[in-house]
Amino acid sequence: MSRIATLEIDGKKYEFPIVEGTENEIAIDIKSLRGSTGGITTLDPGYKNTGSCESAITFLNGEKGVLRYRGYSIEELAEKANFLEVAYLLIFGELPTRAQLDKFHSDIKAQSHVDEDVKKILDGFPKSAHPMGVLSSLTSALVAFNPSSVNVDSEEDMYNAIVRILAKFPVLTAWAYRKRAGLPLDYGDDSLGYVDNFLKMMFKKPNGEYASDKKVVDALDKLLILHADHEQNCSTSTVRIVGSSHAGLFASLSAGINALWGPLHGGANQAVIEMLEAIKEDGGDTKKFMAKAKDKEDPFRLMGFGHRVYKNFDPRAKIIKKSADEVLESLGIQDEVLDIAKGLEREALEDSYFVDRKLYPNVDFYSGIIYRALGIPVEMFTPMFALGRLPGWIAQWREMRLRKEPIGRPRQVYIGETQRSFKPIENR
């Protein structure tokens, strides 16, 4: 017997089916709401209570701090898988066999060149341009050089567009960094793994050889896995809604990059390090910054803390915090801001303001400390988040298109002027 929800308005009752997911989440299916009530809609700014879709990609339970990609726990994947394997899992739904992963990687390598004319677009940016703005522009520009990536009506077309962007995005990300650093734009080396190759494109000195460091490769690989997907977050919802108009994959991803740039979302990892550095410069007085974070008159927020869904520890933050200790120790690096971060965490978790609001460290709180230890500059932290989230965005866009979801077009409640007559300017 399927469950129903009953809504009563002005004495009239309306019934709506209840949808139940495989993890026992339930939702009221209101597809018929406007039609059956003569135009009544719901109102939910920020969509805090609204499900935009049914999805089989990522499950998270904010109360229990659970995160799974296609049923596999983030803890197991971070420990046992590599990033390209996880990308395949998210996009196609199953962990690849060795042959499938090798073919996926060789198809990506075959597309890892970027048209030389894209460099002319990059040249047009000032060195001071934020890499996220450069990346969203270059990703959108890629459409012009890969027109077949737009009309992905067949799974083959979609696959070709997917391997193209997985191949070219790391190149563009490395180029955005090298442009700021005043370094010549470098290409990768097909003999290297996906993440190792990216690090080579980033850090190979013009006059020297690139030496892979397994510790660095493994640390970045794990960080990218932890960022790979997170159900219907702000940037993923952006990718979905842009893609729902049947805009191409690259255009949809470019929109997602811009959404991720915001300091309340992916931009938080850069804001966290800037906050920790400010605390260090200020003599390490965390109590002053905690007071600012709690002061409603002060716009300052404790960056890297709080989450729309996690009202418990962000499981990714736990893994990254442990990895930060390991990476810094293995690289023989002392970073004072790691101790400041741990101190802030301790204080916040004992402070009723944070405890009552269930504000815990999120994925962005410790990640910048590892990026910095790997030699990645702070303005490249959010591009690292984008590099990690790329397969998740692709998987969600692909699912939305394969499920033939309708174009996204929310309604509103109008609160403006009621009808009035035009007044000639001489009478205003």
Residue numbers at the binding site for ligand SDX (CB under 6 A): 46, 230, 233, 264-265, 268, 293, 301-309, 357, 359, 362-364
**What's the closest the beta carbon of residue 213 comes to ligand SDX, in angstroms?**
27
Phi and psi torsions of 197, nearest 5°: -60, -40
Q: How far is CA 132 from CA 127, 176, 338, 393, in A?
A: 13, 9, 25, 16
Check if 230 is active-site.
no
**What's the closest the beta carbon of residue 412 comes to ligand SDX, in angstroms?**
20
**What's the closest the beta carbon of residue 354 comes to ligand SDX, in angstroms?**
7
State how far the Cα of 168 lies from the Cα of 141, in Å rounded to an integer.
Answer: 12
Pair 57, 392: CB distance under 8 Å: yes
**What's the closest the beta carbon of residue 131 comes to ligand SDX, in angstroms?**
18
Q: Which helix (H) or strand (E) holds 137?
A: helix 131-145
Q: Is the dihedral of CA 297, 266, 117, 394 positive or negative?
A: negative
Q: Which of 307, 314, 325, 335 is catalytic?
A: 307
Q: Which of 186, 196, 314, 364 is catalytic?
A: 364
**What's the closest the beta carbon of residue 17 comes to ligand SDX, in angstroms?**
27
**What's the closest the beta carbon of residue 200 comes to ligand SDX, in angstroms?**
27
| 354 closest CA partner among 344, 341, 342 | 344
Pair 401, 306: CB distance under 8 Å: no
Count the helices and strands in the chain (H runs, E runs): 18, 6
Sequence-ordered list of residues with C-beta below 8 angstroms from that of 58, at least 6 positions apart, any chain: 67, 68, 69, 70, 90, 229, 230, 231, 392
Closer residue to ligand SDX in complex, CB, 165/293: 293
Closer residue to ligand SDX in complex, CB, 67/185: 67
Pair 234, 259: CB distance under 8 Å: yes
Closer residue to ligand SDX in complex, CB, 87/171: 87
Closer residue to ligand SDX in complex, CB, 167/384: 384
Check if 246 is active-site.
no
Closer residue to ligand SDX in complex, CB, 200/265: 265
**Cα 373 to chain centroid, rounded:** 21
**What's the closest the beta carbon of residue 321 comes to ligand SDX, in angstroms?**
15
State how far the Cα of 197 lies from the Cα of 179, in Å rounded to an integer.
Answer: 18
Closer residue to ligand SDX in complex, CB, 201/370: 370
| 410 closest CA partner among 142, 45, 66 | 45
SS3 (DSSP) at 18: strand
The label of the residue with tokens 């597309």 reads: 111
| 228 closest CA partner among 180, 166, 284 | 166
Residue of minimal Cβ distance to ligand SDX: 306
Active site residues: 307, 364
